[in-house]
Amino acid sequence: MLRRIRSRLRPLFSRLEAFGFACIRRILYCRARDVTASLSAKRVLVVAPHQDDETLGAGVAVMRLVEQGAEVHITVVTDGRNSHTSAKITKDQLAELRRQEMIDACGLLGVPPERVHFGPCEDRYVGDHRDKAYTHLRSLAEKVKPDLVISPSPLDRHYDHVAVGETIRRLAAEGVINAPVYEYPVWFYSVRTWTNPDRLSPKNIFHLFWKPARAAFTLPVVVVRTSGYLDRKRKALEAHRSQMFNLTGEPTWLTLPEDWLTNFFRAYEMFFPLPEAQRRAAAPRTEAAHA
């Protein structure tokens, strides 16, 4: 009975969720500084927890920076072997496929294979192996010497995004990264980032409204205009075929939902610059979920 009521209410919840995130986005856009015209750097390091995050979060910014002559390096920290469970493809084959997809997608963004770097972690488990992620990102930051870093927002309640985002914050706090850090949201547009939707207690419902509202009104935010670049961004995203299409025909092979993807094809890409005071502070550990 309860399940039937829940399934009947699901479309209503989806519409409410979309409306809520649209309101938050509108508030952030109103407060944001448009850095499209001033976006420039000589060397850029873009950090992705998973293959596809670089395109979702910063695809247009990357294309614009490449066009301006920046040397853009992109690293994905995990190998993607755990994104799907399949009887038709092994984890090793999936990791190899996702490696090639990453090279193809970055190529479409204008970044050649020699500037695409692969990290040492398995997806879902970066938090358990922060030392490996730290060593990889530190060595890359020392090699690239970026004057702009684009990395995942630790606000996203996703185990790998939190671990990678906090590692970049640690490197900034230690002075290894001595450049502006722009953090991009991905799972920001998910109810799970703000509360536990499986337990709709009064406290959780309060968090569902209060936390995103507080973020919308207090986060420092900059935006990059996407006009003229969204078709290429879509093509780059579709190069991540294992995430966009059901490659094996198995019902368990999930793909990124189109209604959620619309969050990344708006008028602007959005970034939260890491404030100076936060750069100097040690990155806090944040409770996060495997996903």
Q: Which residues are at the interface with Zn ion (CB under 5 A)?
A: 49-50, 53
Specify the residue, 50 or 233, whose C-beta has the smaller distance to Zn ion. 50
| Residue 234 C-beta: closest distance to Zn ion, Å | 18
The C-alpha atoms of residue 204 and residue 195 are separated, in whole angstroms, by 6
Of 139, 124, 136, 38, the C-alpha closest to 84 is 124
Specify the residue, 60 or 156, whose C-beta has the smaller distance to Zn ion. 156
Task: Give the residues across from 119 on adjacent strands.
Answer: none
Q: How far is CA 26 from CA 30, 107, 178, 253, 268, in A?
A: 6, 32, 31, 34, 11
| Residue 203 C-beta: closest distance to Zn ion, Å | 28
Which residue's Cβ lies closest to Zn ion? 50
| Residue 53 C-beta: closest distance to Zn ion, Å | 4
Specify the residue, 58 or 70, whose C-beta has the smaller distance to Zn ion. 58
- Residue 286 is classified by DSSP as -
Q: How far is CA 108 from CA 46, 79, 83, 233, 263, in A?
A: 15, 20, 22, 8, 20
Specify the residue, 164 or 208, whose C-beta has the smaller distance to Zn ion. 164
| Residue 186 C-beta: closest distance to Zn ion, Å | 6
The C-alpha atoms of residue 67 and residue 109 are separated, in whole angstroms, by 10
| Residue 57 C-beta: closest distance to Zn ion, Å | 9
Sign of CA dihedral 20, 26, 32, 35: positive
Write the DSSP assignment of 254-269 as a string of letters. Answer: ----HHHHGGGSSSEE
Specify the residue, 63 or 76, whose C-beta has the smaller distance to Zn ion. 76
Specify the residue, 50 or 117, whose C-beta has the smaller distance to Zn ion. 50
| Residue 118 C-beta: closest distance to Zn ion, Å | 15
